[in-house]
Amino acid sequence: MTPERAPRSAGLGDLLGRLLGEARQLVADYAQLAVLDARRSALQLTWLLSCGLVVAVLVVSAWLALVVAGIAWLLAERVSWPAALAIGAALNVAGAAALLWWMRHLLVEKPFTALLRQLKGEERPADERS
């Protein structure tokens, strides 16, 4: 009969090897999670942009239908074709001017100003505090 051997206790080298293997696996798992999350986010962004485009087309179609309805109403009221079309064009120009005015207010602050201010260590202006 051979005496049974007692299991050898793990040495420092074995423990470090297992630790490095586990750390490598953990990093690989996080990298895979990041890739899958980025893929999911890209698909969501694609769907959002596609739906936004469809909504924009529908809104433009509705606006044009309203302008045509207004022109048809003006023609029924015995307004001349040129005058009715000019009124429809004026409505479109007024809508474009209103959007441009709104866009101008959106561009007052440059992009990433809060991030740049934070990186420079500057205080937030008093008018932005709330």
Is the pLDDT at 2 greater than 60, yes or no?
A: no
Which helix (H) or strand (E) covers residue 95, if one does? Answer: helix 81-106
With H, G, I as helix, E, B as strand and everything else as coil, classify residue 5.
coil
Do 124 and 117 touch, CB atoms closer than 8 A?
yes
pLDDT of residue 69: 96
Per-residue pLDDT of 7-40, as tens digits, reads 677 788 888 889 999 999 999 999 999 999 999 9
Beta strands in 1-130 (DSSP E): none
Per-residue pLDDT of 42-56, as tens digits, reads 999 999 999 999 999
> Which phi and psi (to 5°) does residue 18 adopt?
-65, -40
Look at 37-41, 82-86, 95-99, 101-105 and tell me which has the smallest mean pLDDT.
Answer: 101-105
